[in-house]
Amino acid sequence: MTYDVLVIGAGPAGYVCAIRCAQLGLKTAVVEKENLGGVCLNVGCIPSKALISASKLVDKIQHADVMGIQAKYEGLDLQALVAWKAGIVNKLTSGVGGLLKSHKVDVVMGEARFLAAGKVEVATKEGKKVLETKNVVVASGSSPIEVPGFATDGEHVWSSTHALAPRHLPRRLLVIGGGYIGLELGLVYHRLGTQIRVVEFLDRVLPGMEEELSKEMGRSLKKKKIDVHVKSKATGYQKTPNGLAVSVEVEGKPQQFECDVVLSCVGRRPNGKGLGLEAIGVKVDERGFVPVDGKRSTNVPGVYAIGDVAGQPMLAHKGSHEGLVAAAAIAGDQGAAYDPACIPAVIFTDPEIASVGLSAAEAKLAGFDPVEGKFPFGASGRAMSLNETEGWVKVVGDSKTDKLLGVHMIGPEVTELVAEAALAIEMGATVSDVAQTIHAHPTLPEAIMEAAEAVHGMAVHIFQAPKKH
């Protein structure tokens, strides 16, 4: 059988692409070597957010007395928590399988390798089979980077996957990597009672985020009495009678820290190599990314790439959108193009972080004359009623045109609030458009409106000293 489209990988990029191809009338198959839904649904976005929600509930119960509620936290049934999380994952992955079946997408479980541009060999449990297709979409995702000296074994050294299905709660956890995965998971364990220590190679946590967001998170971690070591490199560990002794170079000086488990979260690398792409002439860079054009097409006609393997940012929602673009291009839509005005980034730490568009520094480099407005959640009535007043919203605009350039937030539910900002930027809104939009009261999104007013020095619920002319 010859397919119109063969998608390699059934993660958020691949399965979305396959379903859209089928919706557009294309005979479609998808090859997946592990689990439908990929890393995101099985051992990434979804299960981590389930554990984050549970740990936040524990924290709320333990601090409910400030609201006059005498709630009693009597402990955690860890295996019941892990089973609840697994149930959510199972519902979602089963749902993906059902959608693929309903759209008549053939699913082949196995490992794919190119024989030619339109011919892919799949190693299945039953043996090897060859699939022929007019178009191939590579959505092979990414894999965790392993730190030298810290091979993950599920006992002494955990990967993020191990951290999502713990058999026990460690008393002391050392997290290698102060990026979003390390902090999200580290804070889960912190809320559940584990002592956390973070080791970050660069000069601040969340080094890829807007600088003030990163600094605010650093301050928040300090308030929580979490030890953070920046400009530091973990070099190895030894087993001791008390657990593990981890060797760390802190700003060039050797130190040792004791812990029970090391959690290694230093990022991911694209799975562009090992598929045979180079053998059919597809360019793959030294890191494993596959360069693509606006239609997500590689340099070889009929071969497309989407998701983590197609370049930064390595985010599920970016991959899903690329899947829709590639499907439209394959179906013959001449206008199909990947051209987002912005891509939101969300981090489910405590407090949450969300960012979309340009920072002031990036705006300046892009030729704008940036101006910022900021509004604290401490002045938000809704945030007060939630007892979550930490953080703020920052709006970045262009002083000459009033164009909305970026919105950066740290605080309650900002992972939800960022959608408003992304839509506004995508539609070409001005800062005044946001400021003049009537927001329901009392709600958290009012903070975005007030931050937009603050760009012009006109926020109502904070005092802004008049600008000197």
- Residue numbers annotated as active site: 441
Cα distance between residue 456 and residue 469, in whole Å: 14
Cα distance between residue 259 and residue 255, in whole Å: 13
> Which DSSP category does 146 fall into?
P
Region for residue 286 given its phi and psi (left: phi exceeds 0; alpha: psi -120 to 50; beta: otherwise): alpha
CB neighbour list of residue 120: distance below 8 Å, 6 or more residues apart: 6, 8, 31, 112, 113, 114, 130, 131, 133, 136
Cα distance between residue 259 and residue 195, in whole Å: 9
> Which DSSP category does 409 fall into?
E
- The alpha carbon of 228 is separated from its chain's Cα centroid by a whole number of angstroms, namely 21
- Please, is 36 exposed, middle or buried when counting C-beta atoms within 10 Å of its C-beta (0-12, 13-18, 19+)? buried
Are 372 and 394 a contacting pair, CB within 8 Å? yes
